[in-house]
């Protein structure tokens, strides 16, 4: 089969052609670095507020513009929305007369009611009247510089500030609060720790296991849920691997394949997976042309859809598409047409065996797509090929449509996937991805996803 009609096998419903506004904007790119994550945030409090509550995080440090919280021991609390790596809090109480507030305490937690996992980073309650222990920090007079509280980087979602009136009166007043940390991108991580393809957690985690018929693959092929299994990692008994198996007896009707994919909610950022490619069948005679993949893809709404987006790692252990050796192909798509068959993509091929485990990373950021295998750049794409719409994350394993050996006898191939990771809006190095995965595993996190689709 010519590469020019690579997509010719796709079974897709074609919807009416409409007027499409091309969106060339690159949105959602954020940059790592310290940020005041409290800016503009509202707060909750144990007391009653008078004055404009927005004053507390509006950036204005004029001491006349303060929030008043009722007297005696009270707290104000900020919800940062998700866990943030924090290392500094700055507080400006009312400082017009150089007064000193009592029992200033700063606590961090990932639990909104501070019933557990609390870190106290400042405490000058010297007589333990609040009950968190005798504070070791000194009382201080308020100034226009505010109070800077530095501490070892701590991951927390909630920040609670206590005070207990001042040397002037029993009330508590805030001119401004800043909470400094490194904003963390939205991420998805899955270690593929499931009991099987019918595990309801797969659906809970937004995975769809493909069943039924249709391309890609030889005419007559079917897709079986049972071709996706979860096996114990032979190198680590506490880890599971997702296995995608394919089988054939040499005819389309005897061929079954495997695919699993997410909703189309991912766009710019980093996509990564640890994948084990294989050069030989686990059963039967070697030689069929199989495709072992990790890719992102959007729906082709109609032929030549200008928003169509796709980024592929495709490993061909027995060649195919005119390639006569094993090869890793990285392909970035602009669009394609089913009728007449026409493809528009850029592709980089690396000949040779990629059997064994590899960390695959593709980044889409600032108009450039970069593919990496084990940290080595393998392909780049840009311009019109840069993704233009949200995509699914997809793994499939399939036989090329004219790639079956004609002989009978069962042949089975396997592709294993250890984990998949996405960080929204940031281009990460392979070593940074590996560190993120190691961090999830240190916390025994098998799955997490706070990636929003906008
Ligand atoms: Ca203010
Ligand atoms: Ca006290
Ligand atoms: Ca082979
Ligand atoms: Ca795993």
Q: Is 278 helix (H, G, I), strand (E, B) or coil?
A: coil
In this structure, of 77-86, 224-233, 249-258, the range with the lowest mean pLDDT score is: 77-86
Q: Please report, for the chain, the start and end positions of each structural domain, with discontinuous segments joined by +.
A: 3-27+186-449, 34-182
Do 311 and 292 form a contact (C-beta atoms < 8 A)?
no
Reference 246, options 282, 205, 273; nearest CA is: 282
What b/e string do you get for 42-59 counting C-beta neighbours within 10 Å, with b at 16 or more?
ebebebebeeebebbbee
Quick check: 184 pLDDT over 60? yes
Question: In CATH terms, are 3-27+186-449 and 34-182 the same topology?
Answer: yes
pTM of the model: 0.72
Q: Does domain 3-27+186-449 have CATH number 2.60.120.200?
A: yes
Which residues crowd ion ligand 4, with CB under 5 Å?
191-192, 239, 418-419
Residue 223 scores a pLDDT above 70: yes
* Residue 383 clears pLDDT 60, i.e. is over it: yes
Q: What's domain 34-182's superfamily in CATH?
A: Galactose-binding domain-like (2.60.120.260)
Q: What is the pLDDT of residues 105-150, one digit of tens each?
A: 999 999 999 999 899 999 999 999 999 999 999 999 999 999 999 9
Each residue's pLDDT tens digit, 392-410: 999 999 999 999 999 999 9
Q: Measured between alpha carbons, how far is 432 from 182 in angstroms, rounded to an integer?
A: 15
Residue 254, pLDDT above cutoff 80: yes
d(CA 419, ligand 4 centre) in Å: 5
Give the whole-angstrom CA distance, residue 398 versus residue 204. 26
Task: Report which bound ligand comes closest to the CA of 278.
Answer: 3
pLDDT bin (cut points 50, 70, 90) of residue 25 is very low
Ligand nearest to the CA of 420: 4
Nearest-ligand number for the alpha carbon of 124 = 2
With cut-offs at 50, 70 and 90, classify the pLDDT of residue 15.
Answer: very low
* Cβ atoms 177, 92 nearer than 8 A: yes
Average pLDDT over residues 340-355: 96
Give me the DSSP letters along 173-196. Answer: EEEEEEEEEEPPPPEEEE----S-
User: How confident is the model at residue 454, as a pLDDT?
Assistant: 74
pLDDT range class, residue 5, cuts 50, 70, 90: low
């Amino acid at each position: 089969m010519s590469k020019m009609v690579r997509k010719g096998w796709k079974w897709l419903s074609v919807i009416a052609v409409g007027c499409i506004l091309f969106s060339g904007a690159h949105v959602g790119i954020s940059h790592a670095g310290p940020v005041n994550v409290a800016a503009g945030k509202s707060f909750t409090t144990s007391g009653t507020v008078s004055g404009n509550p927005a004053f507390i995080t509006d950036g204005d440090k004029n001491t006349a513009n303060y929030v008043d919280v009722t007297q005696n021991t009270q707290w104000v609390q900020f919800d940062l929305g998700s866990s943030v790596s924090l290392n500094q809090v700055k507080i400006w109480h009312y400082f017009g007369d150089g007064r000193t507030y009592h029992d200033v305490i700063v606590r961090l937690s990932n639990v909104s009611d501070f019933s557990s996992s609390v870190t106290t980073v400042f405490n000058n309650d010297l007589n333990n009247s609040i009950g968190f222990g005798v504070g070791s920090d000194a009382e201080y007079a308020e100034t226009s510089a505010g109070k800077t509280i530095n501490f070892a980087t701590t991951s927390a979602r909630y920040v609670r500030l206590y005070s207990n009136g001042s040397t002037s009166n029993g009330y508590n007043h805030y001119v401004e609060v800043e909470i400094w940390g490194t904003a963390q991108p939205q991420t998805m991580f899955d270690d593929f720790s499931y009991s099987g393809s019918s595990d309801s957690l797969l659906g809970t985690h937004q995975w769809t296991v493909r069943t039924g018929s249709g391309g890609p693959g030889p005419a007559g092929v079917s897709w079986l849920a049972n071709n996706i299994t979860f096996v114990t990692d032979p190198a680590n008994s506490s880890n599971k691997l997702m296995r995608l198996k394919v089988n054939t007896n040499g005819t389309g009707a005897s061929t079954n394949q495997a695919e699993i994919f997410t909703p189309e909610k991912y766009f710019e950022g980093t996509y990564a997976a640890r994948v084990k490619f294989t050069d030989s069948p686990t059963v039967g005679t070697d030689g069929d042309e199989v495709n072992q993949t990790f890719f992102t893809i959007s729906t082709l709404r109609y032929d030549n859809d200008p928003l169509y987006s796709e980024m592929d790692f495709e490993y061909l252990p027995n060649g195919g598409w005119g390639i006569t050796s094993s090869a890793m192909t990285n392909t970035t798509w602009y669009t394609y047409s089913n009728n007449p068959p026409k493809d528009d993509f850029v592709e980089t091929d690396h000949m040779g065996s990629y059997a064994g485990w590899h960390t695959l990373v593709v980044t889409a950021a600032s108009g450039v797509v970069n593919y990496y295998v084990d940290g080595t750049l393998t392909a780049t794409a840009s311009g019109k090929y840069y993704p233009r719409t949200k995509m699914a994350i997809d793994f499939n394993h399939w036989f090329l449509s004219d790639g079956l050996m004609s002989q009978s006898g069962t042949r089975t191939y396997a592709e294993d996937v250890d984990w998949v990771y996405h960080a929204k809006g940031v281009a990460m190095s392979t070593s940074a991805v590996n560190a993120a995965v190691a961090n999830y595993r240190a916390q025994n996190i098998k799955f997490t996803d706070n990636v929003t689709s906008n």
